[in-house]
A = this chain, B = another copy of it.
Amino acid sequence: MGDDLRDGEAVLPFDPAARADATVCFIGHVRSGWGPDTDTPRNIGPARTTGQGARIELFEGMAAGLTGLRVGQPIIVMTWMHQGRRDLIVQAPRHADGPRGTFAIRSPRRPNPVALSTVVIASLDIDAGVIGIDATDAFDGTPVVDIKPWLPTVDMPPETDGGPAG
């Protein structure tokens, strides 16, 4: 898997997909208007400006896990970005000024291809196991791994000298 690399990129000496330290169970999937042939937003920031909502459909048995959520509440949606290689440890994204470590960027190509986005619940059908969300940058059908309430005390960095963004 050492081919097709850009200048400065580096790969692990093994494929993380072949090291099963634990297993993941998909809990549902994203239904969105995005696919390989659409002008899909690069991340959740531009996705919000499209004005296109989306929804999450949970699989059989999972719906009761939504109990207690409410419309208007921010949540973190964790998706599994299964389309890319997992062995890139240094990457040279086209828009960046040089190679970056995989853990310093949000690329979906990483040892564990989990993406996070913080969105707002636009509608909620707990019986059906369906959550409407304000935006997504995920292709239609992207597997969902977890949903968590967004909590400022946990999900905002503490104040630092340079402010929250460091």
Contacts and interface: CB of A to CB of B under 8 A. Distances in A.
Nearest to A12: B61
Given A61-B13, A112-B25, A118 B157 contact: yes
Contacts of A2: none
Q: How large is the interface on A (under 10, 10 to 19, 20 to 34, 35 or more residues)?
A: 35 or more
Nearest to A99: B67
Copies of this protein in the assembly total: 2
A48 B118 CA distance: 23
A158 B120 contact: yes
A118 B155 contact: yes
Given A62-B12, A64-B90, A103 B148 contact: yes
B67 A104 contact: yes
10 contacts: A21-B26, A21-B143, A22-B80, A43-B154, A68-B101, A69-B101, A74-B157, A76-B116, A114-B146, A118-B157
